[in-house]
């Protein structure tokens, strides 16, 4: 099991299997919500322990498509943890245990800030991978 939680500990969940992959998004939206490093999980793998009712949703306007979830008490970015899709990204930063995967790609590299240095050999994509 891979445990996950928010900063204040009011939201707790676990993954029954390791994520499919990890990727880093450098678009301004992901950076601003504090969830640039994402792990992609299967819906069946996610088990709620407590606090699902505290998950809030940010619904963006056009041209963005995906909602982002966060803890309504402390603001921890949770990615798309309430998604109804079979596979979805959650913020790697909210995982308490090693997810067993490492960064596979960097997306939207054209949008990354000048001060950020990519320091791994993961594949880079100018826009969406």
Mean pLDDT by runs of 10 across the 129 residues of the chain is 97 98 91 86 97 94 82 96 95 97 95 92 93
Residue 113 lies in a domain: yes
Residue 129 lies in a domain: no
What whole-number distance in Å separates Cα of residue 81 and Cα of residue 41? 9
69: left (phi over 0), alpha (psi -120 to 50) or beta: beta
Query: What is the model's pLDDT at position 14?
Result: 98
Cis before residue 63, ω within 30 degrees of 0? yes
- Identify the CATH number of the domain in which residue 103 sits: 2.170.150.70
Query: What is the model's pLDDT at position 7?
Result: 97
Query: What is the model's pLDDT at position 42?
Result: 96
Residue 16 lies in a domain: yes
Residue 59 lies in a domain: yes
Provide the number of structural domains found in the chain. Answer: 1
């Amino acid at each position: 099991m891979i445990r996950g939680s928010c900063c204040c500990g009011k939201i707790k969940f676990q993954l029954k299997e390791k994520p499919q992959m990890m990727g880093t998004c450098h678009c301004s939206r992901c950076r601003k919500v504090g969830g640039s490093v994402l792990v992609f999980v299967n819906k069946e793998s996610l088990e709620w322990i407590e606090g699902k009712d505290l998950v809030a949703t940010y619904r963006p306007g056009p041209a963005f498509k995906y909602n982002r979830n966060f803890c309504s008490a402390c603001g921890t970015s949770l990615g798309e943890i309430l998604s109804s899709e079979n596979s979805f990204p959650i913020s790697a930063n909210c995982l308490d245990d090693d997810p067993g995967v490492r960064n596979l790609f960097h997306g939207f590299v054209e949008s990354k800030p000048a001060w950020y240095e990519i320091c791994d050999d993961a594949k880079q994509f100018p826009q969406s991978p």
